[in-house]
Chains A and B, each alone.
Chain A
Amino acid sequence: MAATVVRKQRTLGSARVREAFVGYAFIAVPMAIFLTFFIYPLVYSAYISRYDWGVFGKIEALGWENYRTLVNDEIFWRAIKNTLLYTAVVVPLEMALALTLAVIVNAGIRGKGFFRSAFYFPSLASSAAITAIAIYILSADGLLNALIGGERSWFGDSDTALWSIAGLNAWTTSGTLMLFYLAALQAIPTDVYEAAAIDGAKTWRTFWRITFPLLKPGHFFVAVVSMIGALQLFDQSFIVSKGSGGPNYSTLSAVLYLYRTAIADVQFGYAAAIGIALFALIFTLTLIQRLLFGKAETA
């Protein structure tokens, strides 16, 4: 009797060990990848940022010198300014557009699926293809100028280049954000609207008084996704300016400056410092956003 109990426990124990062993085996490759290409680079980039680091590796230990240089680097601040201005314009634009589209699609219209697909369509295309198309349509003798009778090269003029990118990205991103708003809209309980209907509230009023405030978690989520995307602006800037950030630094985004410093100028130490500064910036802005929207709403 006693012997059987002991044996049973032993098999139970070994079953648990086997389960743990299988568990580790199942996650081994993913964890190895994450440690090598995500966690380790965090530490490694802090290390690199304290050196003058060229094509052939470390040249000289600099301490905090790279960060001091960064503070006084006018082009870096120009890139930050561009990125922040761009973000401040494109995030509200994308949110307004996405919400409008979501409300339209959700409003019990016929052909809902068609309109949803139509609005989502630009989100499918790659940034490179869509930017090539924009370069064509916004060129001096392109379709847009033909329609409005202008002759401006929208990406070639430092007054309009960044805002043309903002318009382009608002158009392509709103479809994805619309899907998030749609999910949030459909989470609002119907009885809220029934109560409003009994009160005889008008559509417009119902939207601003009921739907809009109830969408707060949706607003927060969409704002975060949109802002993080905007702060990482790169592809479109790179392609319209042939990698230069021109004309006259007008499309130089923070990430493009980082790319140029690392890959074109081969200053890895300085570039690592830029990367860390950008990470700090994005992190801080996300935190501020979280505080603004209230912590309870983010769950």
Chain B
Amino acid sequence: MAIGVAPLPGADRSIPARTPAERARRVLTYAILLAIAALFFVPFLWTISTSLKTLPETTGFDLLPDSPSLRAYREVLTEFDFLRYAANSFFLAGVITLANLVLCSVGGYAFARLRFPGREVLFMLVLATLMIPDQLRLVPVFLLLSGWGLVGGFTGYMLIKLVLASNLFFMRQYFLTIPKDFEEAAKLDNAGHFKTFWKVMLPLTGPALAAITILTFQGIWNEFFWPLILLGFGDPSKYTVQLGIAQFSFQYQTLWPQLMAASVIAILPIVVIFVVFQRYFVAGVVASGVKG
């Protein structure tokens, strides 16, 4: 981990004797740091606080509610249907993540390790799709799916997200980093391609699969654009949490405790995943961003 980490001069901890000026500077540095960190957190604390208040209480500006209550959460989940929206989001994010894990590890393995005519051309095609922006696809994809009767239901949305090119690319790169020796051993054992993939290669890709799981789940859970287009009108029972929030804010903008409770519900699952899998999160964001 420490290799290549370059601490800036002046922050060098190996110098033992500090002058009072240096010490003062250090204190000041940490004070500024904590202030910035607070600035990043305050809106969320305010959100949580408001979600525990009653509506009349929101006219005041106390950070701590007088008598915290979960009433807003109960109302949002039942009366305003967010329990269903959350279930929809969980279902979509779960299915799409699973599909990506299977299809991208299998496909990434093929692109990295199997030889077949046209492999490089087809891989260039995969990379090219990364450069086609969503707005160019809005109209044709919408018309295509509505022609098949897949607008307004989950199937159309799941179909266009079944394989994400960035995930496929990521898995291919990961397989390329695995030394060939592992497969050579499998070949000597006369194992077939599928067995080599399943028994030898796949178990070595744990961190990559973890990164894909986290980033795909987060991406789908948080997505607004395509769910809005494909599920956003017609039957509200098909809404995701994010669509639910937009809808709620359009209709009942000033029911602040409820709106903030809905926002907490939308953010919380991702925060939990982040806290548990932080290591993979950071590595995944950087790796998936450095596409080349």
By a beta-carbon cutoff of 8 Å, the part of chain A in contact with chain B is 16, 18-24, 26-27, 29-31, 33-34, 36-42, 44-45, 48, 53, 101, 103-104, 106-109, 114-122, 124-137, 141, 143, 146, 171, 175-176, 179-180, 182-183, 185-190, 192-193, 196-197, 201-203, 206-207, 211, 221, 225, 228, 232, 234-235, 238-239, 242-243, 254-255, 258-259, 262-263, 268, 271-272, 275-276, 278-279, 282
Q: Which residue of B lies closest to A35 (CB)?
A: B125
Q: Is the CB of A185 within 8 A of B6?
A: yes
- CB contact between A22 and one of B29, B110, B159, B233 (< 8 Å): that residue: B110
Separation of A39 and B124 alpha carbons in the complex (Å): 12
Q: Which single residue of chain A is at the shortest CB-CB distance from B224?
A: A235
A126 partner, pick from B59, B222, B290, beta carbons under 8 A: B222
Residues of the A chain whose Cβ atoms lie less than 8 Å from the Cβ of B245: 126, 128-129, 132, 239
Chain A: minimal CB distance from B222 (Å): 4
Of A108, A129, A143, the residue contacting B263 (CB under 8 A) is A129
Closest Cβ of chain B to A137, distance in Å, is: 6
CA distance A16 to B119 in the complex (A): 14
A48 to B119 Cα, complex, angstroms: 32
Please provide the chain B residues from 12 to 41 with a CB less than 8 Å away from any CB of chain A in the complex.
Answer: 12-13, 29-30, 33, 36-37, 40-41
A282 vs B133: C-alpha distance in the bound complex, in angstroms?
Answer: 9
| Residue from the list B141, B194, B256 in contact with A136, Cβ < 8 A | B256
- Beyond A42-B136, A132-B249, A275-B139, whether A188 also contacts B6 by CB under 8 A is yes
Chain B contacts with A in 233-279, Cβ cutoff 8 A: 233, 241-243, 245-246, 248-250, 253, 256, 259-260, 262-264, 266-267, 270-271, 274, 278
Q: A125 contacts B267, CB within 8 Å?
A: yes
- Please indicate the chain A residues that have their CB under 8 angstroms from the CB of B180 in the complex: none
Considering the chains assembled together, what is the distance between the CA atoms of A109 and B8 in angstroms? 10
The size of the chain B interface, using a CB distance under 8 A, is 97
Query: Which of A37, A146, A234, A243 contacts B137, CB < 8 Å?
Result: A37
How many whole Å from A25's CB to the nearest CB in chain B?
8
Neighbouring B residues of A259 by C-beta, 8 Å: 138, 228-229
- A30 vs chain B, min Cβ distance (A): 4
Q: Are B249 and A19 in contact (CB under 8 A)?
A: no
Contact A262 B142 (CB under 8 A): yes
Residue of A108, A182, A239, A263 touching B229 (CB-CB under 8 A): A263
Assess the B41–A121 pair: CB atoms within 8 A. Answer: yes
A108/B12 contact (C-beta < 8 A), A124-B270, A135-B253 known: yes
- Residues of chain B within 8 A (CB-CB) of A21 are 116
Which of A133, A196, A202 lies in contact with B260, CB distance below 8 A? A133
Q: Does A262 lie within 8 Å of B260, measured CB to CB?
A: no
**Cβ–Cβ contact A179 & B285, under 8 A:** yes
Give the distance in Å from the alpha carbon of A124 to the alpha carbon of B264 in the complex: 12
Closest 9 CB pairs of A and B: A108-B7, A26-B110, A41-B140, A20-B116, A23-B116, A126-B222, A23-B114, A203-B10, A128-B242
* A34 to B193 Cα, complex, angstroms: 24
Complex: A228 Cα to B30 Cα, angstroms: 34
0/1 interface trace, chain B 51-84, chain A, CB 8 Å (1 if under): 0000000010100000000000000000000000
Closest chain B residue to A47, Cβ basis? B140
Closest Cβ neighbor of B248 among chain A residues? A132
Note all chain A residues with C-beta closer than 8 A to B33.
104, 109, 115
Check if B193 sits within 8 Å of A136, measured CB to CB. no
Decide yes or no whether B202 CB sits under 8 A from chain A: no
Residues on A with C-beta less than 8 A from B41 are 118, 121
In the bound complex, residues from chain B placing their C-beta under 8 Å from that of A188 are 4, 6
Q: When A23-B114, A124-B270 are in contact, do A29 and B163 touch as well, CB less than 8 Å?
A: yes
Contact (Cβ within 8 A) B138 A26: no
Residues of B within 8 A of A196 (CB): 9
A201 touching B229 in the complex, CB below 8 Å, given contacts A27-B122, A45-B140, A275-B138: no
- Inter-chain CA distance A53–B282, complex, in Å, is 45
Given known contacts A33-B162, A126-B266, A106 and B7 CB-to-CB distance under 8 angstroms: yes
A187 to B248, CA, bound (A): 46
Contact at B9–A232, with CB atoms within 8 Å?
Answer: no
Contact B104 A34 (CB under 8 A): no
A136-B259, A262-B139, A272-B140 known; A238+B11 contact, CB < 8 A: no
